[in-house]
Structure 1
């Protein structure tokens, strides 16, 4: 059995699938420990997983101290600089703090979220085998989408999206320069050579193959699986089930990373009013329901919702096309209206349209009438539900969570067999860097 260390981005869309995958490994007899900021310990511990905090270390970025990080700017160029500095700061904290903690913990391998830029370098420093996990469309595939889906963006927005679209293997600009500077200090080659010098054992994505466009030339270590969903790995929460009145449910959720736009929620409420449906709006924990008092049609509005349970009852889901909501919706065979805004959302929405499971609307050209028309189309046209159920069958047959755990176990077994046949390589000695 193995002891796996997990390095994850702290967003819910990353934590939920990685917690589910970790629980699956624990069920199979392995030990799993998350390494992250202390604030996440209460989120991880209840699921029978280990947790080791990465202590806050004073950074060398000057103005990007922990105090200043809370003073987020509001205009385009300062926001871009803030995001770059924050990315660098988080990466360097882990590069300095994690190796010693991981070495002391005695992990056998690392499970690295694609957005944990420090992960592969830490693995190479400690000479640990590692796995890269994509919780959405892999960054190497790109996040492009047709213009009818992706809203027109300013040059600053395109630059910001380019920053967020990078993976550790496609890094460019100041983030890679700081990473390569660190790697030189510990005797490693530039990060762009890591695929040759110290590759991952496997790159696994929870994106099902049936949801991706046809591809060729993928490496043998790349694997599609399917959603990492474990209903037991969700926080229990109260919900006003008694307020559901029996009408078909339209469930609207725009995730937790971006605050739901009150204007969009009002447009959705106007669109549903008079259609003979009941609208349930989940605010993703980012806003208070009281802010939305007096919405048309009196929708049921909650700060947080037990999403997996509501999806089982929903007729249509209105979503930002975030990976977790989309995958969980398709696991229930439900059609969608997708209103992508940024990040990977347009790329996911393009796939939903291609599969015929959703109508995609642009957030910048949105009207209540447009949403209402989309709702009426899906309610009256059975092809959307039929397509969604077809994808549901493929996803369920793939057993994504179990398959991902099997791939990790099989790769570790091959690694150990190869390790026994070869001479043991000496790990690079960890040392504090300036």
Structure 2
């Protein structure tokens, strides 16, 4: 039996893949603990998870749950990258480092599994001479996106050197985003292309999907089997910029209501009550039953619109098993979960790794890329028509789905980690 410490940032999309791997390790007889934000880890990994708390930046003002809380909505490109590193990743690493060291001392892991955006995990493990693996929950870093921007790349390297000097081993030299022992990539080359960075340490394991605890009710009875089902989601970190896009997507979908039904993830209720959602118009109607609100029966069924069902939270994996297309922001988890089910996509990247992931989707032929800031109902509708009616995107999506399922997912990742713990680094 070995001990594995997962070090994770306060990001839902980065914890979810690790949950499946942790469960697979436990099923193989190993012990698992977490270093991160306890409330979020417990919500995603279960109440019985052992979590060593790591204070977040701004402790005392409530837990940080996404890097976008204070980010201006209109920054893009190098400016957005600078914000991500200087205002989120580096402060997060500095805040987490003492907690990670305490977790290592208390749990005494054989291997540290560090998310690529939880840099404290990698730097502390390196400093303490512990074997560690990288959990790469997005494939964007493998592309070396900064190769064409040498000044930005040099700035990034200097930032990492300074961070290592403060919380790690100043004599270290490796990139903390790529373990010298093992890099778990939750994708496959069929989608991501060959890894430019990470070398022979990369193990393509495909998506790590597992059942997720959810208390959100969903009106399954309102789904129409006679129409194509389209899921629209902008993920958990983009509610600040999503209102216009969701409105235009809803317009495009209602224009196709004779053949398409949509489920829209609308955390802020930006779409408003849909047509036909007046008193007594459908499930969830009644006082306070607008989109994203629970009805008088507490069912949380959203607006009464039967063409566009808007809800603040949905059971995404269950819906993807029924969906015919997805319209999204090109978040890595959403893209991989859709493609796991062979569902083609319309991708409208907003920032961070999303343009890279969107390019992967389009390059693989599994979807259509549109511009988030400019796409109107006509553009969204035309792209949706393509992925619904042109057989090529669906065929490409199914090819990727086969590669995902063949890669092994969480059990394969657990096996690689087990080999690393046993000292078989070359086999990991």
Shared fold (TM-score greater than 0.5)?
A: yes
TM-score by length of 1: 0.78
TM superposition shift of 1:95: 2.0
Counterpart check, 1:126 vs 2:106: no
The answer for the alignment partner of 1:49 in structure 2 is 49
The answer for the alignment partner of 2:86 in structure 1 is 84
Instruction: Structure 2: state its 5+ residue gaps.
Output: 276-304
The answer for the alignment partner of 2:244 in structure 1 is 263
The answer for the alignment partner of 2:138 in structure 1 is 136
Counterpart check, 1:321 vs 2:304: no
Assess if the C-alpha contact under 8 Å between 1:143 and 1:344 holds in 2. no
Seen in structure 2, the aligned counterparts of structure 1 residues 176 and 391 have a Cα distance that, compared at 3 Å, is same
**Aligned mates of 2:426, 2:159 — CA distance in 1:** 39
Per-residue CA deviations over 1:140-169 (Å, capped at 9, x if unaligned) read: 4234799xxxxxxxx9xxx9xx6xxx8xx9
Assess if the C-alpha contact under 8 Å between 1:87 and 1:175 holds in 2. no
Counterpart check, 1:280 vs 2:259: no
**Aligned mates of 2:426, 2:83 — CA distance in 1:** 46
The answer for the alignment partner of 1:110 in structure 2 is 112
The answer for the alignment partner of 1:207 in structure 2 is 187
**Aligned mates of 1:399, 1:97 — CA distance in 2:** 32
Seen in structure 2, the aligned counterparts of structure 1 residues 91 and 240 have a Cα distance that, compared at 3 Å, is same
TM superposition shift of 1:170: 9.3
**Aligned mates of 2:136, 2:350 — CA distance in 1:** 20
Assess if the C-alpha contact under 8 Å between 1:24 and 1:401 holds in 2. yes
**Aligned mates of 2:175, 2:269 — CA distance in 1:** 48
- RMSD of aligned Cα (Å): 3.5
Counterpart check, 1:312 vs 2:321: yes
Structure number having the greater helix percentage: 1
Counterpart check, 1:292 vs 2:277: no
Assess if the C-alpha contact under 8 Å between 1:206 and 1:227 holds in 2. yes
**Aligned mates of 1:391, 1:416 — CA distance in 2:** 28
Instruction: Structure 1: state its 5+ residue gaps.
Output: 147-154, 419-434
**Aligned mates of 1:402, 1:133 — CA distance in 2:** 14
Seen in structure 2, the aligned counterparts of structure 1 residues 108 and 170 have a Cα distance that, compared at 3 Å, is farther
Trace 1:177-216 onto structure 2 (pairs within 5 A): 177-183=162-168, 188-193=169-174, 200-214=180-194
Per-residue CA deviations over 1:44-95 (Å, capped at 9, x if unaligned) read: 5526532122357xx8xxxx77559989475968996696244333212222
**Aligned mates of 1:233, 1:292 — CA distance in 2:** 28
Counterpart check, 1:242 vs 2:221: yes
Counterpart check, 1:369 vs 2:378: yes
The answer for the alignment partner of 2:411 in structure 1 is 402
**Aligned mates of 1:308, 1:78 — CA distance in 2:** 30
**Aligned mates of 1:355, 1:79 — CA distance in 2:** 25
**Aligned mates of 2:163, 2:418 — CA distance in 1:** 33
Seen in structure 2, the aligned counterparts of structure 1 residues 50 and 224 have a Cα distance that, compared at 3 Å, is same
Counterpart check, 1:351 vs 2:331: no
What is the aligned counterpart of 2:157 among 147, 157, 172? 172
TM superposition shift of 1:107: 1.7
